[in-house]
Amino acid sequence: MAPIPFAQLQAFLALARTGSFSAAGRDLGVSRSAVSQAVRQLEEQLGVVLVQRTTRSVALTEAGRRLVEGVAPAVAQTAATLAEVSAKPGETIGRLRLTLPQSALPLVIEPTLPTFRARHPRVEVELVLEDRMVDIVAAGFDAGIRLSETVERDMVQVRLTEAFRFVVVGSPEYLARHGTPERPEDLLKHECVTFRSPTNGALYAWELERGRKEWRLPVRGGVVTNDGLACATMAKLGLGLAYVPEPHVRDDLDAGRLQVVLESCAPTVPGYFIYYPSRAQRSTPLRLFVEIAKDVLLDRRR
């Protein structure tokens, strides 16, 4: 088999990552037709169909999915190495692509990114904010940031934040009108701002615990959102109770705009972790980001 041009693989992986020829072209800085031609050449050289094309959509075939899973990490590592060898001594050039939920933005990215960009200005950072879980290899991410319980067990995980609680909160106005729940079961009688999972479309059941006893409560209310941080905003407006990470509402709690209810039942989660497939595939930009994030978020607090 003749050598496969690197550019053709890049075009195919960009198409797999973005889901359209136009978006792949924008990502690579080339035309839509150039991406289409590169993918077609790759298919001809391999003798298989990698992409099913219709007038409205693009979908990977089984062969296409297998190729993405097999070569995406290696191609990303190759691109990172090529960037590194072209850099000046002590300078890092490259790209860092991260997937993370909106809730991780204020706790992880806002404290870390200014320092990272100041030290490594030639590293391009792309942040894709989405609450749904994604396959970071197939989607072309260097790493993901999530709460540890949602991360696949075969991933390398590095802690970025301390553990924190999820708390049920309400505005003083709401609690004055509707009363304060005394037991977890009381939440089923209250107006609750609910969160719909973008991964499976289900409404999230609030999880509480006290000692060895645990509750999963299918709360309901008149406001539903797919953004966890918006729940706190709705609660401040007096539209209902919300279930939120305590660090996100610390200022509102201190200022009295929100109050915690059922505090003795608030569960603790391990915190946010950055994760990636293996240490061997960790690029230099990712290694540097992890080092700075740990320094900013953890080491300086000890």
Closest CA to 193 of 173, 177, 171: 171
CATH number at residue 186: 3.40.190.10
Contact 261, 170 (CB under 8 A): yes
Give the residue from 135, 184, 127, 178 showing the smallest Cα distance to 155.
Answer: 135
Q: Are residues 38 and 52 in the same domain?
A: yes
Write out the residue range of the structural domain in which residue 42 sits: 1-72
Kindly calculate the radius of gyration of the chain based on its CA atoms and give it in whole angstroms.
23
Whole-number Å distance between alpha carbons of 231 and 263: 18
The segments of the chain whose pLDDT lies below 50 read none
Please report, for the domain that includes residue 67, its CATH number.
1.10.10.10
> Do 277 and 151 fall within a single domain?
yes
Residues 173 and 246 in one domain: yes
Indicate the pairing of strand 51-53 with strand 58-60.
Answer: antiparallel
Classify residue 299: in a domain, yes or no. Answer: yes
pLDDT score recorded for residue 81: 67
Domain identity same for 175 and 225? yes
Domain identity same for 179 and 265: yes
Residues constituting the chain = 302
Query: Looking at residue 128, what is its pLDDT?
Result: 94
Among 163, 274, 267, residue whose Cα is nearest residue 216? 267
Number of domains, the chain: 3
Question: Does residue 132 lie within any of the structural domains?
Answer: yes
